[in-house]
Amino acid sequence: MSPELKALHRLLVIKLGALGDFVLALGPMAAIRRAHVDAHITLMTTAPFVELAEATPYFDSVIVDSRPRLVDIAGWIALRRRLRGLAFKRVYDLQTSDRTGWYFRLLGPGRRPEWSGIARGCSHPHDNPGRDRMHTIDRQAEQLRIAGIDAVPPPDVSWARANLRRFGLDRRYALLVPGASSHRPAKRWPLDRYTTLAREIASRGVKPLLIGGPDERELGAALAARCPDARNFVGETSLIELFALARNAAAAVGNDSGPMHIAALSGAPSVVLFSSESDPALCAPRGAKVTVIRRPELAGLAVGEVVAAMRLR
């Protein structure tokens, strides 16, 4: 550890979301922990990720971002008082958003903590003009190199363990992720294709398990009604349980979404479906067993091609 890094005893890491972005940041989080073995490291995140963050071995404490609205003057004052009171020596801004740029400005006037990110005037700016054309993992690795952390490992999720007894899994299963961003419906493969896929998987002696977020329960119920052989756990799992389910899955298929990042990092053979709505070069899940299929419109993707990519035996 360099003397510069060793002298930093109180650190803040900022990663607010979304799920896929949070999971991709696990490698940088591990690198920060390794570079500051003896430091007290706090993570600022949003409520959906607190349980997952607390389960990692990277943080000594976790705080929830109050996310004050622009006109909430009292909220901004309270946030400023809280952050200044914690006396951080350095901040690693892995969110690098307009909001976290405001947080940097909020810590002035006067001496601010060292700051790794893109906020104007920060001590360790990631000023590569091509940063927005880099994959998230590569972009954050370069950001940390500028801040003095040279080695960023691939995300290791071996710590994510859960008891799966309540799921009653007595045979091989495959994860299906039919949801994605609700405000970007073009990211979703049509429900009738997932129905055909679920039936095909079941015919091969593999149980389809439907997973997704709480706001996708209606979608999961619709798919389960069309394929009675499927088990519907959409909105019914914790993030830690998703890691454990994926670790033991025969395969995982889904749209460009957070659960597919979890599946890929957990080692499940994963087939991830992309439309023109998102670019796999910038945000595709990474893992040893990941297959990306991209079509301008996912309605043009045949079920047979997805089945072949799954390589179920």
CATH of the domain at 81: 3.40.50.2000
142 in the same domain as 90: yes
Number of domains in the chain: 2
Q: Is the pLDDT of residue 1 over 60?
A: no
- Maximum Cα interatomic distance, the chain, rounded to a whole number of Å: 66
Per DSSP bridges, beta strands 61-64 and 90-93 are unpaired
Amino acid at the residue 196: T
For the entire predicted model, the pTM comes to 0.94
Please, are residues 208 and 227 in contact by the beta-carbon 8 Å criterion? yes
pLDDT of amino acid 181: 87
Assess whether 185 and 299 both reside in one domain: yes
Interatomic CA distance for residues 78 and 22, integer angstroms:
26
Residue 45 — φ and ψ, nearest 5°?
A: -145, -170
pLDDT band at 313 (very low <50, low <70, confident <90, very high): confident
**In which domain, by residue range, is 263 found?**
165-310
pLDDT of residue 93: 98
Please provide residue 261's backbone torsions phi and psi, each rounded to the nearest 5 degrees.
Answer: -65, -40
End-to-end CA distance of the chain: 47
pLDDT at 101: 97
pLDDT at 8: 74
Give ∠ CA 191-237-160 in degrees, rounded to 5. 120
Task: Tell me the pLDDT of the chain averaged across its residues.
Answer: 95
Convert the pLDDT of each residue in 40-94 to its tens digit.
999 999 999 999 999 999 999 999 999 999 899 999 999 999 999 999 999 999 9
Contact present, 173 and 207 (Cβ < 8 Å): yes
pLDDT for 5 equals 67
Please check whether residues 298 and 178 belong to one and the same domain: yes
157 within domain boundaries: no
Within its chain, how far is the Cα of 38 from the centroid?
26
115 - beta bridge partners?
91
Q: Is residue 160 part of a domain?
A: no
Answer yes or no: do 140 and 171 share one domain. Answer: no
Residue 294, SS3 per DSSP: strand
In a domain, 242, yes or no: yes
User: Domain boundary at 112, 146, 180, which?
Assistant: 146
**Tens-digit pLDDT profile for residues 192-224:** 999 999 999 999 999 999 999 999 999 999 999
Q: What is the pLDDT of residues 274-296, one digit of tens each?
A: 999 999 999 999 888 999 999 99
Answer yes or no: is 101 within a domain: yes
Indicate whether 96 belongs to any domain. yes
Kindly report the length of the chain: 313
